[in-house]
Structure 1
Amino acid sequence: MDARALGIHASRAHSLGMRFPPLPLNLESRRAQVFPVLDARDRERMQRFGEVRRFREGACLAAAGRPSPGLLVIAQGRVALSRRDGLGHSVPIVEEGPGQFLGEVALLSGRPALVDAHAVGEVEALVIPPHRLRALFVAEADLGERIMRALILRRVSLIQTGAGGPVLVGPPECAGRVRLEGFLSRNGHPYLVLDPARDAQAVSLLARYSPRAEELPLAVCPDGSVLKNPSESTIARVLGLLSEVAFETLYDVAVVGAGPAGLATAVYAASEGLRVLVLDQRAFGGQAGASSRIENYLGFPTGITGQALTARAFVQAQKFGAEMAIPAEVASLRCEASGAPLTLELTDGRKVSARTVVVASGARYRRPALANLGQFESRGVFYWASPIEARMCEGEEVVLVGGGNSAGQAAVFLVGHARRVRVLVRGQALAESMSSYLIERMAASPHIELLMETEVTGLEGSKERGLQRVRWRHRPSGREEEHDVRHLFLFIGADPATEWLTGCGVALDAKGFVRTGAELREEPPQAATWEATGRTPFTYETSLPGVFAIGDVRSGSVKRVGTAIGEGSAVVAQLHAYLASTAEVESRRNPASARGTSLAEGESDHVRM
């Protein structure tokens, strides 16, 4: 990819001597923030957080695909950075000198670096490991702010250029390619795509590996390995996104689900000194992460995408030391005895022990009862509307089913790409299920057609071509219509993701959502348990002491991003109170072995800011 394609004119690149990377156009004006130069006083303040190391000429300071040693602050010499991919390409991107530093957000979690860094001549640098970098963020807030901003912007640049990620080889309509693009983009990981209809190198790769149709796409990883239509967990493992280590730590809090509720808990709990682990089977952000634009969340008058909002929370949680295990699917929850640590068993056989568990697993989009629906999922049928799906709908007609805010946001987003968006709603009115600003915006668009009291009744297509036709019926009249439609979006509500709680003693309501609160103590199945504790369940506590539920998965919760974040932050005070009470009980039972909690005395009854 040349300098002009990356958003910087060749003359500008020449004047820079290629010592600075060609940034995408939207970041060019923020170059000083992407590559700040720290002065002598800044570097002096950082000395106590790391150690000085010297590197010989040509030494490798960081390697793509391997965990970074930490933030490297250059004191003397220069360091050359380059990006490479599994196709054998290596492209110089920048040289950094004294006062500059190497790193991006991957180093916060110990994930592999995305670029190579080699010493140009002899180099002296201050190396700050990830855990000490988090200490720097807390102790030197203004300096930490500049560093954190640079780390985030560098990741944005890498994502926009695809640097350091896998190359997906397959046609745009390939279901596997759409699936992997969604997984990587939702996890904020760079990638590139090659279309065999347009790229000679893609044709060469297909000829070399001869994949069957169901083995597409090929995923060419930075280490040179080539995967045929890999699962999300397989590609995550190869890219180093999925840690293989055993969870030997006893965590204060294990959060199941990395949506807005779970991330809010992680941020507040970790910032208050609790040892936190967050697990999610797919990606951070949950359903909110797929929202094209959220305009009614406090503090964002111009709106913000769900991906941007939750990505900030994801990085923020890691800044305070929360550990992330994504993708990691929880199979079950077990409690061996009252007061004993809780155990989460993962589908890969690993186990996590924690003093408390926060259930924030949210809900899954509901699937309508259509006989051949599964045949077209990711081949014309989608459950969210991201730029990946929007690109496929350019200039075409789209059908969208649903009457909630998610459906309204998707319709407004898709109409900017599709020729027409038909919105099918089972109910008679939208006012009870959708915010008024979305209703007004949909009504104002001449390219959005609203069909009330209407439902999809049939899908037609083929394995080779995907979805081709959609049939729907007007319920009051019984009148049916059939149209040539290649893209169907479904936003028809959600079912709670609580099957992993089966048999653990957590009470669910009739619809499968988790019950919480004081009324649980009055019911016979749980009365004895709570009588033994001598207290009433906290507001967000379930029927199992030490297990809490927040967000969409909780029975009676308001299904809104703001509510989920509020519950995620509020539950932290209850976690502190529970941990303090169990520590007190243990102290009375065995004074010699009592351990202190992460909570300072007297701070268990409120959320500290």
Structure 2
Amino acid sequence: MSMPILMTVDDDPSVSRAVARDLRRRYGNDYRVVRADSGADALDALREIKLRGDAVAAILADYRMPNMNGITFLEQAMDLFPHARRALLTAYADTDAAIQAINVVDVDHYLLKPWDPPEEKLYPVVDALVETWRAVGDRPVEETKLIGHRWSRPSYEMRQFLARNSVPYRWYSVDEPEATRLLEAAGAAPDEIPVVITPDGKTLRAPTGSEIASAVGLSTEPAAEFYDLVVIGGGPAGLGSAVYGASEGLHTVLVEKKATGGQAGQSSRIENYLGFPDGVSGAQLTDRARRQAAKFGAEVLTARDVVGLTARGPARVITFGDGTEIAARAVVLATGVYYRALEAEGAERLTGQGVYYGSASTEAPACQDKDVYIVGGANSAGQAAVFFSHHARSVTLLVRGPSLERSMSHYLIEQLRDIDNVHVRVRTTVEAVDGEEHLERVTLRDAETGKTETLPTNHLFVFIGAAPRTEWLGDTISRDSHGFVCTGPDLLREGRRPPGWTLDRDPLYLESSMPGVFVAGDVRSQSVKRVASAVGEGAMAVALVHRYLEER
């Protein structure tokens, strides 16, 4: 087979030769470097490459070219090679425009010209591009088929489960002719939906999360009974602990109830995370972290519900919902938080049927040219508003407080002000939601006037509050009045150690009231609710795990 291709496109011959030279110097043994002087010439070359059946790993295109700029070219190139990774070459003066375009077109990186020295400014970017391409490649994607009802809550939850676990799938509404043919071939009835058909032809009728996880190749069973470290929760804090634990030689397993990434994994774009100046989606960040953990040897168990944590001598024992157990020398609790339920009449009944929690990206196609409402005033709500503005006719952000400044980052507020179809209503709450089989209307209340207004919509996305689900810990772990887990100095009251504390020292900074059980991320009392701090606490927890194990 011929080598995969790295393509560079620039109308300036000297720049084109320079970037091609630098790429050949580093990647010439494994990739063929092809250069073009215009977007039109590059598209002609890509069509020939497509006919020959060769693969394109990455494309670097100049942002400012006559007749066809880099963004327009990359959009058309994606139609020919959708799996090729993409980067923009741009001058400093065009940085803002390039970043804005990146947010819309989903380009992977941008590079400032000049990029000397390439070892610092060019190669790390291209390394990331080709690494991502190798993980995906141009191989045919084996799709799982999902047949369900547009307004079925179980069908919606199954779509979310597959999407958030990066399982390629194709959705068929039960009223489509192809769905009828698939159901007949599978011997399934329409009232058995959702129906899942795996790439090998296996049919699952209304499967549970663990059943679908096993069927599509996600790991659900632990490979051992005893580990050095069990990480409970797969958000940024948990993934951080898994990466650092496994990379430092600890036999590590991460246990996740639904999908890795947590709330951050549902974010359409995180733009204030260190090291990603052009932003990164929660799904991309999660996928990279998950692959990084696996690279170092960490196990990742999906669709496993942890219902108990006990101490048996030096071991910390984890009990799953099915009654099975695993044990470890130490544990990191990183279960994060969940969006609070919307306290509006009809909200519970219509959840998954027009009322959604989090940025349900699977609903984006259905929002085309529709009016969308988003409840919340923090960053997650703002990011969702930006995302849905590319699909919906209008997006209205419903904020209970007097302004966004108290809870949302400045950069995001500025973005929202520049988007014509995004509107913000402050001092507004949702009084009720209503509809027959699905959401049809929302009733809003103005806190200043007390007046209510009923508006038609099929889509309401909720991003309010943050509540931990720590009831399963019972009395074994100390928690504050809101359910967040207390750690370190917060456990000491009037100089006294927590009840049941068995060690002749105070709890370490992230250590809970059970020795050897550490807490990281949003579930920890008094934590900073940011992705970067969660990752940092995940790494810090592993450092403290080492201190704990050394004293045993």
* TM-score, length of structure 2 as denominator length: 0.76
Residue type matched to 1:265 in 2? S
2:377 and 2:83 map into 1 onto residues whose CA distance is: 40
The aligned counterpart of 2:445 is: 473
1:431 and 1:361 map into 2 onto residues whose CA distance is: 28
Indicate whether 1:406 and 2:380 are aligned. Answer: yes
Aligned partners of 1:247 and 1:351 also within 8 Å: no
Q: Which of 200, 208, 212 is 1:231 aligned to?
A: 208
Equivalence map 1:178-189=2 (5 Å): 178-189=156-167
The aligned counterpart of 1:490 is: 462
User: Alpha-carbon deviations, 1:33-92, whole Å to 9, x = none?
Assistant: xxxxxxxxxxxxxxxxxxxxxxxxxxxxxxxxxxxxxxxxxxxxxxxxxxxxxxxxxxxx
Indicate whether 1:388 and 2:362 are aligned. Answer: yes
Q: Give 1:374 deviation, angstroms.
A: 2.4
The aligned counterpart of 2:259 is: 283
Q: Against the structure 1 CA distance between its residues 400 and 349, is the aligned structure 2 distance closer, same or farther, given a 3 Å change threshold?
A: same
The aligned counterpart of 1:374 is: 348
User: Alpha-carbon deviations, 1:480-527, whole Å to 9, x = none?
Assistant: 0001110000001121121221132x1000100000112424469844
1:251 and 1:424 map into 2 onto residues whose CA distance is: 46
1:413 and 1:380 map into 2 onto residues whose CA distance is: 17
The aligned counterpart of 2:107 is: none
Aligned partners of 1:8 and 1:24 also within 8 Å: no
The aligned counterpart of 1:344 is: 318
Alignment partner of 1:354: what SS?
strand
Aligned partners of 1:430 and 1:439 also within 8 Å: yes
Q: Give 1:280 deviation, angstroms.
A: 0.6
Q: Which of 486, 489, 495 is 1:518 aligned to?
A: 489
2:51 and 2:417 map into 1 onto residues whose CA distance is: 51
User: Alpha-carbon deviations, 1:456-480, whole Å to 9, x = none?
Assistant: 01111123xx111111101121110
User: Alpha-carbon deviations, 1:403-457, whole Å to 9, x = none?
Assistant: 1111111111111111111111111122111101111222222211211111101
Q: Give 1:154 deviation, angstroms.
A: 5.0
Indicate whether 1:533 and 2:510 are aligned. Answer: no
User: Alpha-carbon deviations, 1:74-119, whole Å to 9, x = none?
Assistant: xxxxxxxxxxxxxxxxxxxxxxxxxxxxxxxxxxxxxxxxxxxxxx
Residue type matched to 1:295 in 2? E
Q: Give 1:557 deviation, angstroms.
A: 0.4
The percent of aligned pairs where both chains have the same amino acid is 40
1:28 and 1:224 map into 2 onto residues whose CA distance is: 26
The aligned counterpart of 2:301 is: 325
1:553 and 1:309 map into 2 onto residues whose CA distance is: 20
Equivalence map 1:48-197=2 (5 Å): 152-157=132-137, 163-170=141-148, 172-195=150-173
Q: Against the structure 1 CA distance between its residues 554 and 228, is the aligned structure 2 distance closer, same or farther, given a 3 Å change threshold?
A: same
Alignment partner of 1:533: what SS?
coil
Indicate whether 1:219 and 2:196 are aligned. Answer: yes
The aligned counterpart of 1:16 is: 53
Q: Give 1:210 deviation, angstroms.
A: 7.3
Q: Give 1:547 deviation, angstroms.
A: 0.7
Alignment partner of 2:551: what SS?
helix
Q: Give 1:255 deviation, angstroms.
A: 0.5
1:402 and 1:375 map into 2 onto residues whose CA distance is: 20
Aligned partners of 2:50 and 2:80 also within 8 Å: no
Aligned residues: 452
Equivalence map 1:403-482=2 (5 Å): 403-463=377-437, 466-482=438-454
Unmatched 5+ residue regions in structure 1?
Answer: 1-6, 32-144, 583-609
Q: Give 1:201 deviation, angstroms.
A: 3.5
Unmatched 5+ residue regions in structure 2?
Answer: 1-43, 58-76, 87-124
Q: Against the structure 1 CA distance between its residues 548 and 311, is the aligned structure 2 distance closer, same or farther, given a 3 Å change threshold?
A: same
Aligned partners of 1:23 and 1:157 also within 8 Å: no
Alignment partner of 1:462: what SS?
coil
Q: Give 1:256 deviation, angstroms.
A: 0.4
1:166 and 1:311 map into 2 onto residues whose CA distance is: 19
Alignment partner of 2:461: what SS?
strand
Indicate whether 1:567 and 2:543 are aligned. Answer: no
Indicate whether 1:507 and 2:507 are aligned. Answer: no
User: Alpha-carbon deviations, 1:303-338, whole Å to 9, x = none?
Assistant: 00011011101110110111111121101101134x
Q: Give 1:259 deviation, angstroms.
A: 0.4
Aligned partners of 1:167 and 1:219 also within 8 Å: yes
Alignment partner of 2:156: what SS?
helix
Q: Against the structure 1 CA distance between its residues 510 and 489, is the aligned structure 2 distance closer, same or farther, given a 3 Å change threshold?
A: same
2:51 and 2:219 map into 1 onto residues whose CA distance is: 40
Indicate whether 1:353 and 2:327 are aligned. Answer: yes
1:333 and 1:469 map into 2 onto residues whose CA distance is: 44
User: Alpha-carbon deviations, 1:212-260, whole Å to 9, x = none?
Assistant: 6553232111232212232222211222314345642x21111000100
Aligned partners of 2:227 and 2:329 also within 8 Å: yes
1:204 and 1:498 map into 2 onto residues whose CA distance is: 45
Residue type matched to 2:249 in 1? G
2:161 and 2:138 map into 1 onto residues whose CA distance is: 16
User: Alpha-carbon deviations, 1:279-313, whole Å to 9, x = none?
Assistant: 01001100000000000111111100011011101
Aligned partners of 1:341 and 1:353 also within 8 Å: yes
2:340 and 2:260 map into 1 onto residues whose CA distance is: 20
Alignment partner of 1:374: what SS?
coil
The aligned counterpart of 2:16 is: none
Aligned partners of 2:221 and 2:301 also within 8 Å: no
Indicate whether 1:240 and 2:217 are aligned. Answer: yes
Indicate whether 1:310 and 2:281 are aligned. Answer: no
Aligned partners of 1:415 and 1:421 also within 8 Å: yes
Alignment partner of 2:440: what SS?
strand
1:431 and 1:239 map into 2 onto residues whose CA distance is: 43
1:332 and 1:158 map into 2 onto residues whose CA distance is: 43
Alignment partner of 1:375: what SS?
coil
1:178 and 1:567 map into 2 onto residues whose CA distance is: 33
Q: Against the structure 1 CA distance between its residues 30 and 482, is the aligned structure 2 distance closer, same or farther, given a 3 Å change threshold?
A: closer
Indicate whether 1:251 and 2:221 are aligned. Answer: no
Residue type matched to 2:489 in 1? A
